[in-house]
Structure 1
Amino acid sequence: MNSIDACLDGIAKVNERILAEPESERRKHIRERTVSVTVPDLATVFDMRLTIEGLTDITHRSQTAPAPRPRVHVTVTVTSDDLVDLAGGRLDPARALLTRRVKVDASMGDLLRLRKLL
């Protein structure tokens, strides 16, 4: 099991990957969305916004605490180890989805856009 800090580092790596894309590509694929990443083994939820400027307003809270935003567009559930492995490129996102190591609750359009970024 990884720590909250390791998960935050993983989220930062994902953000770096998003920002490495040219702005024109980000504009094509990113629609501003609220994102919650639930990490059950840490009983923690990371809340953030996905924007053209990357992942912003990143906070974390206990899984039992109420969400700070009334509407979440994308919800991801993943263990801390898999989150860190995904961020580090050691776990293929498509394989993780197919084997249900990562669960994503989002519209089909959001899934297709996110797939192009990750």
Structure 2
Amino acid sequence: MASVEECRAAIAKVSDRIMEVDEDRRRKHIVDRTVSVTASDLDTVFDMRLAMQGLVDVTERRAGDPAERAQVRLTASSDTLVDLAEDRLDFAKALLSGRVKLDASFGDMMRLRKLL
């Protein structure tokens, strides 16, 4: 099981990867969205915003604590989150196998697919 710190580092790595994308492409595919990432085995939720600057304003809370519903919600084990960030696991395969649950509008899913 990965730690909260390892999950934070994974989120930072994904943010860095977003920032490596050409700015014109980011402008085309990124719409400011609230995002929550739940590490199910840690009972922890990371709340953040997806913006032109990557994943920003990252905070963490216990899964049961009240919060506004994010526009894009991802749930996975802590190890799965780290594996995705480290490119040891393909997101589509993880999604189809049930290791990752994604709750977002169809438009958001299509934009994210094109960006990542």
Residue equivalent to 1:116 = 114
Distance 1:43 1:71, change over 3 A: closer
| Structure 2: distance between partners of 1:97 and 1:62 | 24
Amino acid at match of 1:109: G
**Identity of paired residues, percent?**
59
Task: Name the SS of the counterpart of 1:10 in structure 2.
Answer: helix
Matches within 5 A, 1:1-118: 1-67=1-67, 70-118=68-116
TM-score w.r.t. the length of structure 2 is 0.97
Give the unaligned 5+ runs of structure 2. none
| Structure 1: distance between partners of 2:115 and 2:22 | 11
Task: Name the SS of the counterpart of 2:87 in structure 1.
Answer: coil
Q: C-alpha root-mean-square deviation of aligned residues, in Å?
A: 0.8
| Structure 2: distance between partners of 1:38 and 1:13 | 17
| Structure 2: distance between partners of 1:89 and 1:117 | 15
| Structure 2: distance between partners of 1:37 and 1:87 | 13
Task: Name the SS of the counterpart of 2:2 in structure 1.
Answer: coil
Amino acid at match of 1:50: L
Give the unaligned 5+ runs of structure 1. none
| Structure 2: distance between partners of 1:71 and 1:42 | 19
Cα offsets for 1:72-93 (capped at 9, x unmatched): 1001001000000000000001
1:40: Cα distance to partner? 1.1
| Structure 2: distance between partners of 1:37 and 1:71 | 12
| Structure 2: distance between partners of 1:6 and 1:71 | 24
Runs of 4+ residues deviating >3 angstroms: none
1:71: Cα distance to partner? 3.9
